[in-house]
Amino acid sequence: MKTILCYGDSNTYGADPADKGGRLGRDVRWPGVLRADLGDGFLVIEEGLNGRTTGWDDPMDPHLNGRTYLTPCLRTHQPLDLVVIMLGTNDLKARFALSAADIAESAGVLVETTQREARDAAGQPPRVLLVAPPPLANLSDYDGMFEGGTEKSRQLGEYSRRVAGWKQCAFLDAGRVIVASDLDGIHFAPEEHAKLGRAVAATVRELLA
């Protein structure tokens, strides 16, 4: 049995862009699609939290720092064969005043932490797949919260690709596979979750062959 941990924010949690506060079904959100696509022999663990950042304390909520929670999360679920990290969207909020390069490098710290702290059944570091989130779309009610974030979000894919190369981990640019919903500009419609889940599954097969 191969164990995969999916570490992310509201788009791993499955926040529904058509129902503010709602959550897509277990088999609809992308980790569920990943699980179904891979089939028997794989355990997929969902660790998605609304509002989670790569590594920044949010003044609106003290529990959203992805760096603070990562090590206990890894230790809770190991042995792990693969950790999928998709974070960075919430770092685009105006309150953090971060560049796209800053956000990508902060995600790289999570890759390093995973490589250092987690182990597979043989006592070796697990594989890591860094996923760059897709660019923001029509932000509607979130335009003030993410002021200035749209252009930065378009740069995340390239900066994240560079970081993945530096950290010697696998990389997937979700912006080349899916788009965020224009209903809120941030979250994924069900059909986009399906596309992402299948794309991650294809990458997983290569990594864990």
User: What pLDDT is attached to residue 134?
Assistant: 98
User: What pLDDT is attached to residue 140?
Assistant: 85
CB within 8 A of 200, min separation 6: which ones? 30, 34, 84, 129, 131, 172
Domain interval for residue 88:
2-207
User: What pLDDT is attached to residue 209?
Assistant: 83
Contact yes or no for 38/84 (Cβ under 8 A)? no
What total of structural domains would you count in the chain? 1
User: What pLDDT is attached to residue 1?
Assistant: 93
Separation between Cα atoms, residue 9 and residue 25, nearest integer Å: 16
Return the number of other C-beta atoms located less than 10 Å from residue 55's C-beta.
Answer: 20
Q: Which CATH number covers residue 25?
A: 3.40.50.1110
Ordered mean pLDDT values, 10 residues apiece, the chain (209 residues): 98 96 97 97 98 97 97 98 98 98 98 98 98 96 94 98 98 98 97 98 96
CB within 8 A of 202, min separation 6: which ones? none
